[in-house]
Amino acid sequence: MGRWEPDAPERLVLAALDLFTEQGYENTAVAQIAERAGLTKSTFFRHFRDKREVLFGGQEVLAEMLTSGIAGAPEQAGPLAAVEAALVAVSAGLTEERRAHGPQRLAVIAGNVELRERDALKMVGFSTAMAEALCRRGVPELEASVAAELGVLAFRRGYHRWLENGGDFAEVARRTLREVRAAVAGLEGGE
């Protein structure tokens, strides 16, 4: 098994997604995932806390990227420019490998209400991470919350677009955030 070890998480993810798709998330046990991947249960648990973690692993890393993107934005950047920097920073975590799994992962989540709940809280986590990072830059709390919500909206839309069309996530996210900002301007202009 030793020589396969570097690939273990990837093999477990592929095996899990296939099983979730074939027989449903609820009906899949960790032992089956490990077996399908040709690995042991203890290898599974070395990489993932539980089967849900296969779908949501890496959340802390992405949140941390968002946070450092905001912290590292130029001092004179306004809140939305800092949010843009966050989305650009997070693109480092959105690899081709992740994109390859993306559609199957989304389909599994969409088919299970518990997973949709988990996913919703993940987005709340991203929003909170960005809002807190903005507050640390001196942005007033409500403006920080609004900017973070707009950032999460751009993140979600950009993510779907990126899964569909590929390309560099940073570029896709920048474009999506520009569109979100235009929509915001349209909203207030329209009344």
- The site for a copy of itself (CB under 8 A) is made up of 77-81, 113-114, 116-118, 120-121, 123-124, 140, 142-143, 145-147, 149-150, 153, 157, 179-181, 183-188, 190-191
Of residues 6 and 138, the one with the C-beta less far from a copy of itself: 138
Of 166, 184, 162, 177, nearest in space to 69 by CA: 177
Dihedral in degrees, nearest 10, Cα atoms 6, 10, 11, 14: 180
Are 161 and 172 spatial neighbours (Cβ–Cβ below 8 Å)? yes
Measured from the CB atom, the residue of 15 and 139 that comes closer to a copy of itself is 139
d(CA 67, CA 73): 10
Q: How far is the CB of 49 from a copy of itself (least distance, A)?
A: 12
Cβ closest to a copy of itself, residue 7 vs residue 141: 141
What is d(CA 5, CA 12) in angstroms, rounded to the nearest whole number?
Answer: 11
Kindly state the smallest distance separating residue 28's Cβ from a copy of itself, in Å. 19
Q: In the complex, what is the shortest distance from the CB of residue 188 to a copy of itself, in angstroms, rounded to a whole number? A: 7
CA–CA separation, 36 and 54 (whole Å): 14
Compare residues 19 and 144 and give the one whose CB is closer to a copy of itself: 144
Give the span between the Cα atoms of 13 and 19, in whole angstroms. 10
CB of 12 to a copy of itself, least distance (A): 23
